[in-house]
Amino acid sequence: MINYIHILISAQLHAPYETEPFDSYLCHRTAQAWEIAKLMRGAAERGHLVIGMGDFNMIPLSLAHRIIETHSPVRDVWRMMHPDSSVGAAKDLVEKNRGLPTPTAEFNLATNGTTCESALNTWRWNEAHKKRLAKGENVVIENSVLDPNAKRLDYIFFSSGLCRSAATGEVSSEWTLECANVGMTTRHPHLHCSLSDHFSIEATLIRHIPDPAKAYSDNGPWTLPETYLPIATYDEILHMISTYARREKWQRRLRMAHLLFQLIVSVGCLIAVWWSPNNYVSFILMFISTIGLSTGVIDGLMGGLFVGSELRALKEFEWEVSNVKARAIDATASSMGTGKDMKREGLDSEGA
C-alpha cells in the first residue's frame, strides 16, 4: 500500500524589529520554531510527506532555522539546491564576514533566493520612485543593479514521505526535490507595482511511483534518528528564556503598580469633585479619573492575565529545552564512550 497522506504546514513566525541577538521578539520566534519542529517531526514519524512553508521572518542558519532543521527531518529546499547561498543581506555583518562582493539583484534572485527588501520589489522603493508609479509611469530597474538590502525570509521546508517494502523491509523516499526558484517577480500589468512586498519561493517535487510488482506497506510510526544542536546552543536558549521571563515579571509588576496608582488617582479625583469651585473643574477631574482608570485597567489586565499565561508557556518551553539538553548530553557522553571503547579495542588488538 502506498502512503498518499501529505502534511502541509503554513506558518508565519513573529517579525523581527532588530537584528539578533538584540531582537525583542527573538524568544517568541524561537518558541514558535520549536513548536513547528515538533509538528513536522510528528508528521514525518508517521511516514508522511511534510511540507512547511511561509514567511518565517528569519534568515538562513539563524537560531530558529537551525532548530527547525535539527529537531525535525525537514530541510530548507533552497539550501538543498544552493548550499552556498547567502545567510543574510549583503550589508549585514554575517555576510560581510564571508568576504563576498555585493551581489546584483539578478544574482540574489537566481542564487541567494532573496524574497524581501529586493531592489526589484516596488514596495521597497524610495518615495521618488513610488510617486512615479503613482502617476502611472512604468519605472524600470535593471537586474544588474547592486542589491545590498535583499535577504531571504520566506521558506519551503521539505521532508520526503517514506515507503517500506512488505517483502524486503527496505525503506525508500517517495518524493525528491527537483528544483527551487524565486517566484512572483512580475508586476501588475496596469499598476506596474509588485504583486506583494515579498517575492515567493517555489519548488517542484517529484514523486517516485513504486514498482507495481512489489507490495508496499505502512508499518506504523517510523523511528527517526535523534539529532541535537550543540550543548552551548541549548544553554543560549535557556538563558534567553530566563532573561525574557525576568523582563516580563518586571513589566507585570509595573503594570499592576500602574493599575493601583490609577485607582488612587481616580478615587482622589472623585473626592475632589465635592469641593470643586466650578463645573469645568469638575469636568476636568472626571475626565482625568475616567481616562486614567481606563488605561490602568488595560495595563492591569495585560499584566495579570496575558503576561501570566505567557510566563506559564515559557516555563513549559524551558522544561522541554532542558529535557532535550539532558538527552543531548547523554548522547554526547555515549558517543564519546563508544569512541573510547573502540580505541581501547584497537590498542588491545595491537598488543595481542
Give the residue from 330, 339, 325 showing the smallest Cα distance to 229: 325
User: Domain 6-227 carries which CATH code?
Assistant: 3.60.10
Give the residue from 271, 265, 274 showing the smallest Cα distance to 297: 265
Cα dihedral across residues 138, 144, 148, 152: positive or negative: positive
Beta-carbon contacts of 89 under 8 Å, excluding residues fewer than 6 positions away, are 95, 117, 148, 149, 150, 151
DSSP per residue, 142-186: -TTSB-SS-B--EEEEEE--EEEETTT--EEESEEEEEEEEE--S
pLDDT for 347 equals: 42
pLDDT for 265 equals: 93
Q: How many residues does the chain have?
A: 352
pLDDT for 210 equals: 60
Alpha helices in the chain (DSSP H): 26-44, 63-71, 77-81, 93-96, 105-107, 127-134, 231-273, 279-301, 307-351
pTM: 0.81
**CA 210 to CA 4: how far, in whole Å?**
12
> Cell for 35?
513548536
* Full pLDDT tens readout for the chain, 352 residues: 344 456 677 777 887 766 666 677 889 999 999 999 999 998 888 777 889 999 999 999 999 999 999 999 899 999 999 999 999 999 998 898 988 999 999 999 999 999 999 999 999 888 888 888 888 888 889 999 999 999 999 999 998 766 655 555 566 667 889 999 999 999 999 888 999 999 999 999 988 766 554 444 454 556 777 889 999 999 999 999 999 999 999 999 999 999 999 999 999 998 998 888 888 889 999 999 999 999 999 999 988 888 888 889 999 999 999 999 999 999 888 877 655 554 455 545 444 4
pLDDT for 19 equals: 67
Place of cell 590498542: 347
pLDDT for 2 equals: 41
> Burial, 213: exposed, middle or buried (Cβ in 10 Å; 0-12, 13-18, 19+)?
exposed
Give SS3 for 9: strand
pLDDT for 342 equals: 45
List the domain boundaries for the chain: 6-227, 232-351
